[in-house]
């Protein structure tokens, strides 16, 4: 009798599992970005061919797998993960973009890592990539608009989001900063910082066509008793006039090392044609009252449909808030495609 019950239970479990798979829609997509950059004014490669100058190629490829379905109780459901390989990685990183999401109308509940709303989006328009990406390899500690080392991006977190006319608001709670997750039911104890992080993020247009607003409050527990909690306040406003878009974003960061930073980012873009945009952007960062670091970027983006081509020139002055630091220049070319 016990064996019969076991077989019956196994059959029911198998039927439920097969039914879930049969009713789900699975999608496989991905992206690839290939770059080439030239840096002058600093040397980041030990065997640089010329003192103070570096150049080289870059790569980021990603495979995304997801499914979606309507559950028996009527809730919407989706889940997925990404496999990413950057640079000369010999294997895919499977800890990217993992999520399970439940939704009812305009309300959603998501358990995830590297998928929730975050502070990396600003209201400042650009024709190419962010300052944080452009500054890669220059030795500049570019503030990436996300507190706690992007706590909600590098640790498992819970996002509750609500969409409404004029925008959306997300509450993101990270139970343990640095918790990348253990295998199966195991607990990750490697480099896990005790403490939590909480983010409240609004993005939308407040019902006004052409307007874009980003507002966020963030708090991350200090990693030690001798430090203060990290607090971030962000407010950005942008407007699209048609061919011209302008925007301004300001961030105030009370760092957990008891220092305070502020950053202001300005930008303007112009659509030369439907598929060709140029722009200029600038950031001014005050690192705890020291000399302001200034980054200025000229950008151009060309969309060819299946592939996008971008180019930028980045100028960095008073790097990392050091008035006597030599100026750094970087030129980058980016080619990207999605599939």
**Tens place of pLDDT per residue across the chain (339 aa):** 445 444 444 444 444 444 444 467 899 999 999 999 999 875 454 444 445 678 899 999 999 999 999 999 999 999 999 999 988 888 887 778 899 999 999 999 999 998 999 888 889 999 999 998 898 888 776 655 444 445 557 789 999 999 999 999 999 999 988 888 888 899 888 767 678 899 999 999 999 999 999 999 998 887 777 777 888 999 999 999 999 999 999 998 887 777 788 889 999 999 999 999 999 999 998 877 667 889 999 999 999 999 999 999 999 988 877 777 778 899 999 999 999
The predicted pLDDT at position 7 comes to 44
- What is the C-alpha to C-alpha distance for residues 129 and 147, in angstroms, rounded to an integer? 20
10 lies in some domain: no
To which H or E segment does residue 86 belong?
strand 76-86
pLDDT attached to residue 287: 75
CA-atom Rg of the chain in angstroms: 23
**pLDDT score at 151:** 58
The total number of structural domains in the chain stands at 1
Tell me how far apart the alpha carbons of residues 65 and 45 are, in angstroms, rounded to a whole number.
36
- CATH code for the domain of 230: 2.40.160.10
Does residue 124 lie within any of the structural domains? yes
Residue 276 — left, alpha, or beta (φ > 0 → left; ψ -120 to 50 → alpha)? Answer: beta
Whether the model pTM is above 0.95: no
Residue 198 in domain: yes
CB neighbourhood size of 274 (10 A) = 7
Residues 6 or more apart in contact with residue 212 via CB below 8 angstroms: 123, 203, 204, 205, 236, 237, 238, 239, 240, 247
Tell me if 9 is assigned to some domain. no
At 331 the pLDDT is: 96
The answer as to whether 30 is a domain residue is: no
The answer to whether position 256 is within a domain reads yes
Between β-strands 328-338 and 307-317, what pairing exists: parallel, antiparallel or unpaired?
Answer: antiparallel
Q: Which two tokens stand for residue 211?
A: 């307007």
Domain that holds residue 237: 35-338
Instruction: Look at residue 11 in the predicted model and tell me its pLDDT.
Output: 46
DSSP 255: -
85 inside domain: yes
- 225 phi-psi bin (left φ>0, alpha ψ -120 to 50, beta other): alpha
| Residue 11 placed within a domain | no
């Amino acid at each position: 009798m016990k064996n019969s019950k076991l077989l019956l239970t196994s059959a029911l479990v198998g039927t439920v599992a097969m039914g879930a798979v049969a009713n789900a829609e699975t999608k496989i997509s991905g992206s690839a970005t290939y770059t080439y950059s030239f840096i002058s004014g600093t040397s980041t490669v030990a065997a640089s061919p010329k003192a103070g100058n570096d150049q080289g190629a870059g790569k980021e490829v990603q495979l995304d797998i997801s499914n979606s379905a309507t559950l028996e109780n009527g809730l919407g459901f989706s889940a997925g993960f990404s496999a990413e390989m950057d640079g000369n990685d010999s294997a895919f990183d499977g800890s990217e973009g993992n999520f399970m999401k439940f939704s009812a109308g305009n309300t959603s509940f998501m358990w995830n890592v590297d998928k929730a709303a975050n502070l990396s989006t600003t209201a400042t328009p650009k024709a190419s990539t962010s300052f944080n990406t452009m500054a890669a390899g220059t030795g500049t500690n570019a503030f990436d608009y996300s507190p706690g080392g992007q706590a909600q991006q590098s640790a498992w977190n819970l996002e509750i989001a609500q969409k409404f006319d004029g925008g959306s608001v997300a509450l993101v709670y990270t139970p343990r900063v640095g918790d990348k997750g253990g295998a199966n039911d195991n607990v990750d104890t490697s480099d896990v910082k005790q403490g939590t992080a909480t983010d409240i993020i609004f993005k939308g247009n407040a019902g006004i066509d052409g307007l874009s607003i980003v507002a966020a409050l963030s708090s991350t527990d200090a990693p030690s008793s001798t430090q203060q909690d990290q607090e971030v306040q962000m407010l950005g406003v942008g407007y699209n006039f048609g061919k011209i878009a302008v925007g301004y974003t300001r961030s105030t960061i009370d760092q957990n090392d008891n220092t305070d930073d502020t950053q202001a980012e300005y930008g303007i873009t112009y659509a030369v044609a439907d598929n060709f945009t140029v722009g200029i952007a600038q950031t001014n960062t005050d690192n705890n009252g020291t000399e302001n670091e200034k980054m200025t970027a000229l950008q151009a983006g060309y969309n060819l449909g299946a592939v996008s081509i971008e180019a930028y020139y980045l100028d960095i002055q008073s790097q990392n808030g050091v008035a006597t630091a030599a100026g750094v220049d970087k030129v980058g070319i980016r080619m990207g495609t999605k599939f």
